[in-house]
């Protein structure tokens, strides 16, 4: 550990706002975008970064009219800067509102998860923890925690980043469905071979969502698509409109099936493997009181939605 007395010497230390501004611009690659995210004007953000550069004695960014990038000197302290801000946040969390969880939680999740899981219930968390502000961002594109500016991210499927912590929320099963109007026109499929009479509404990404696995078949079944969409909710809307068939995670369409808007097909034969559902977070974030209560709440509200739940990691 460094000399604590040296820290108290009357020389200037970087301000946390300046360091946080540096991190935001580095992550977003743009003063304008980082300013929007932080709720500052671009000029104010630029001044904060300039102050940091003056303290450090070198430029952290290489600025041109068309590009913004880290200088070699600026790239070196970026990881340490993140550690500094995260450690300060953990320290501040210790004294938050007389021991009650407080602060901001940035949550990144697929569009469908926010619409069908979080949106109907998040008011309960906000009422229980009024000092915690939850910021939701939706994307169906796979991004890491840093790129998503997230404290916690919801992910489906196998996890590739071994450096993050995660809590398993369970597994999401699949349903193959179609709209009653389409089934009235084409007929109800009784066997897998009957699917050739239909068109598929296909996911543009990831394409593996278009693979339908059935009992007795060693390879997935694919039928010609009528339409493609890059968003799960767009695919759902097209299927509801009778444009074709698609398979969805059951939590997305349980309400549609219950209301008769969608009809499950070949349920006794469908064998598409269930997807693991996980909440990812960093080691630093795990130390925050607000993160623990949010993850506990999330586990509670999803306990009846997903199967095969295991303990947190």
- Residue position matching structure tokens 């975008």: 33
What pLDDT was estimated at residue 311?
44
- CB contact at 8 A, 201 and 245: yes
Give residue-wise pLDDT tens across range 157-204. 888 766 778 999 999 999 999 999 999 999 999 999 999 999 999 999
Strand partners, 170: 277
pLDDT at 219 over 80: yes
Give the domain extent around 150.
Answer: 95-172+275-302
Residue 164 CA to residue 70 CA, distance in Å, equals: 25
The answer to whether residue 153 sits within a structural domain is yes
- Looking at residue 312, its pLDDT comes to 44
- Token pair of 62 as six digits: 């290489």
Mean of per-residue pLDDT scores for the chain: 85
Question: Is residue 240 located within the same domain as residue 290?
Answer: no
67 pLDDT tier (thresholds 50, 70, 90): confident
> For residue 44, what is the domain's CATH number?
1.10.10.10
User: Are residues 123 and 246 both part of a single domain?
Assistant: no
Q: Report the CATH number at residue 280.
A: 3.40.190.10
pLDDT in tens, 75-123: 888 878 877 777 766 666 655 545 688 888 999 999 999 999 999 999 9
User: Residue written as tokens 């010609």?
Assistant: 224
pLDDT of 95 reads 54
Two tokens, residue 152: 């916690």
Q: Does some domain include residue 119? A: yes
Q: Is the pLDDT of residue 11 over 80?
A: no
Q: Count CB-CB contacts under 10 A for residue 219.
A: 8
* % residues pLDDT > 70 (the chain): 88
Name the pTM for this structure. 0.71
Confidence of residue 13 (pLDDT cuts 50, 70, 90): low
Number of domains in the chain: 3
| Residue where a domain stops, chosen among 60, 83, 106 | 83
- Does 153 share its domain with 280? yes
Q: What is the spatial distance between Cα 178 and Cα 198, in angstroms, rounded to a whole number? A: 10
Whole-angstrom distance, CA of residue 139 vs CA of residue 149: 12
Q: Mark whether 60 and 200 lie in a shared domain.
A: no
Report the range out of 28-42, 50-64, 207-221 with the highest average pLDDT. 207-221
Residues 101 and 165 placed together within one structural domain of the fold: yes
Question: C-alpha 200: how far from its chain's center?
Answer: 27
Assign residue 48 a region (left: φ > 0; alpha: ψ between -120 and 50; beta: otherwise): alpha
Residue 69 has pLDDT above 50, yes or no: yes
C-beta of residue 198 within 8 angstroms of C-beta of residue 189: yes
């Amino acid at each position: 550990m460094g000399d604590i007395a040296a820290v108290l010497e009357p020389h200037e230390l970087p301000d946390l706002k300046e360091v946080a501004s540096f991190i935001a611009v580095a992550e977003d690659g743009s003063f304008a975008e980082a300013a929007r995210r932080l709720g500052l004007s671009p000029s104010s953000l630029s001044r904060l970064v300039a102050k940091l550069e003056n303290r450090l004695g070198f430029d952290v960014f290489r600025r041109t009219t068309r590009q913004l990038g880290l200088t070699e000197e600026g790239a070196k302290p970026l990881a340490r800067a993140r550690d500094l801000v995260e450690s300060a946040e953990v320290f501040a969390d210790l004294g938050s509102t007389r021991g009650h969880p407080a602060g901001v939680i940035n949550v990144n999740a697929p569009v469908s998860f926010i619409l069908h899981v979080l949106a109907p219930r998040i008011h309960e968390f906000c009422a229980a923890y009024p000092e915690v502000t939850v910021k939701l961002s939706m994307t169906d594109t796979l991004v890491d925690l840093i790129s998503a500016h997230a404290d916690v991210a919801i992910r489906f499927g196998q996890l590739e980043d071994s450096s993050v912590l995660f809590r398993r929320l369970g597994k999401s099963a699949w349903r193959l469905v179609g709209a009653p109007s389409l089934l009235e026109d084409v007929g109800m499929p009784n066997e897998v071979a009957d699917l050739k009479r239909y068109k598929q509404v296909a996911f543009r990404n990831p394409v593996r969502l278009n693979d339908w696995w059935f009992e007795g078949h060693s390879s997935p079944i694919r039928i010609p698509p009528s339409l493609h969409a890059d968003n799960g909710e767009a695919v759902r809307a097209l299927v509801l409109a009778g444009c074709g068939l698609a398979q969805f995670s059951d939590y997305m369409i349980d309400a549609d099936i219950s209301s008769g808007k969608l009809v499950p097909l070949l349920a006794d034969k469908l064998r598409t493997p269930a997807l693991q559902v996980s909440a990812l977070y960093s080691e630093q974030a795990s130390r925050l009181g607000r993160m623990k209560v949010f993850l506990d709440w999330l586990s509670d509200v999803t306990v009846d939605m997903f199967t095969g739940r295991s303990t947190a990691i």
